[in-house]
């Protein structure tokens, strides 16, 4: 009996030892079949993984379900939390926002009125541009000369609508050296509008509507009254004789009938073109009684555009360094 029991136990152990290798071999044989079943739906001949067909080849819709991310979540230990305050009122109110200050609407009960304009009008430094001793009022739509600062030395009021020049416009301006009123509507200037300016050297009045010239101060060096309507009767007799500093006299494009002689010895440039001058006296430029006279300064005389024939007055130019410009036939 004891022998039979021993034989039975021995056969069971040998059977179990043989079964383990058999299972292992059977599992290895089944695994390739399962792998083939997994890939038999894939077209390996046309397999081309690109960014365009990436979603078609790999199903990513349940990608997150295949992997459990719970074990990667950070664990918070309760002991590291800040203690809760005993007073609930000490907790900050996270829902509350800072209150934006509200601007008060402007009141319309008492509107602000601009400061009253003085009776004499705005000073030129509000209407114009004042830079140092110069005042620039160009193209400022002015109808008269504005009040000027007492130290004004140079005034430019071109391209406006100024119609008249009053004697009071420049009162007290003892430093004024240059006045430029080019291209305005000036048709009249008071006789004393400029005569009382002791420092005036340049008076520039072209492109206006003047029919007469006012008296000029003895300090004048340059007078430019081109493109006006001044006839010979609009000039005071011997208007320029006593102007010992006059060097530039430009009266072209007016209505003059004769040359405004006598002319001062200081004169360098005389422009009378495009007038109605038809004749001249032999003493207009030179002293016919003194043939040794030489006027070296007067070297620029323009008489072109006039009906005068300069060749008819050969003795009128002997003292000049150059013949006048004009018609000699």
pLDDT level of residue 14 (50, 70, 90 thresholds): low
pLDDT level of residue 73 (50, 70, 90 thresholds): very low
Q: What is the pLDDT of residue 329?
A: 87
Q: What is the pLDDT of residue 205?
A: 98
Separate counts of helices (H) and strands (E) for the chain: 3, 11
> Can you tell me the mean pLDDT for 4-20?
54
Q: What DSSP string runs through 96-117?
A: --PPPPPPPPPP-SSPPPPPPP
73 to 43, 69, 79, 128: CA distances (angstroms): 39, 7, 18, 77
Of the segments 13-22, 30-39, 64-73, 236-245, which one has the largest average pLDDT value? 236-245
Of 20-29, 69-78, 246-255, least confident by mean pLDDT is 69-78
Q: Per-residue pLDDT tens for 110-143?
A: 444 444 444 344 567 888 999 999 999 999 999 9
Q: Is the pLDDT of residue 264 over 50?
A: yes
Q: What is the pLDDT of residue 56?
A: 47
pLDDT level of residue 97 (50, 70, 90 thresholds): low
306 to 238, 255, 272, 279: CA distances (angstroms): 22, 10, 8, 10
> Can you tell me the mean pLDDT for 19-45?
50
Q: What is the pLDDT of residue 62?
A: 43
Q: What value does the mean pLDDT of the chain take?
A: 78
Of the segments 7-21, 192-206, 280-294, which one has the largest average pLDDT value? 192-206
Q: Is the pLDDT of residue 174 over 80?
A: yes
């Amino acid at each position: 009996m004891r022998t039979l029991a021993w034989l039975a136990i021995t056969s069971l152990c040998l059977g179990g030892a043989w079964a383990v290798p058999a299972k292992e071999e059977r599992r290895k044989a089944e695994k390739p079949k399962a792998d083939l079943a997994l890939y038999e739906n894939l077209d390996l001949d046309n397999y081309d993984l690109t960014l365009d067909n990436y979603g078609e080849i790999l199903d990513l819709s349940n990608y997150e379900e295949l992997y459990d991310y719970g074990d990667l979540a950070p664990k918070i230990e309760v002991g590291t939390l800040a203690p809760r305050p005993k007073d609930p009122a000490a907790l900050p109110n996270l829902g509350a926002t800072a209150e934006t200050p509200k601007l008060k609407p402007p009141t319309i009960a008492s509107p602000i009125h601009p400061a009253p304009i003085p009776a004499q009008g705005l000073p030129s430094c509000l209407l114009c541009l004042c830079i140092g001793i110069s005042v620039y009022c160009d193209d400022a739509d002015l109808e008269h000369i504005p009040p000027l600062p007492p130290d004004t030395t140079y005034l430019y009021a071109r391209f406006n609508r100024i119609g008249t020049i009053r004697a009071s416009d420049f009162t007290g301006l003892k430093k004024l050296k240059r006045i430029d009123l080019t291209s305005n509507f000036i048709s009249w200037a008071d006789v004393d509008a400029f005569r009382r300016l002791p420092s005036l050297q340049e008076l520039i009045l072209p492109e206006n509507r003047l029919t007469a010239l006012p008296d000029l101060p003895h300090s004048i060096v340059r007078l430019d009254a081109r493109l006006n309507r001044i006839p010979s009767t609009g000039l005071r007799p011997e208007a320029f004789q006593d102007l010992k500093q006059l060097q530039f006299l430009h009266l072209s494009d007016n209505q003059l009938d004769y040359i405004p002689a006598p002319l001062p010895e200081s004169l360098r440039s005389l422009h009378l073109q495009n007038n109605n001058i038809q004749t001249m006296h032999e003493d207009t430029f030179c002293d016919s009684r003194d043939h040794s006279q030489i006027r070296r300064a007067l070297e620029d005389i323009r008489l072109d555009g006039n009906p005068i024939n300069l060749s008819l007055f050969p003795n009128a130019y002997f003292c000049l360094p150059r013949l006048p410009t004009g018609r000699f036939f």
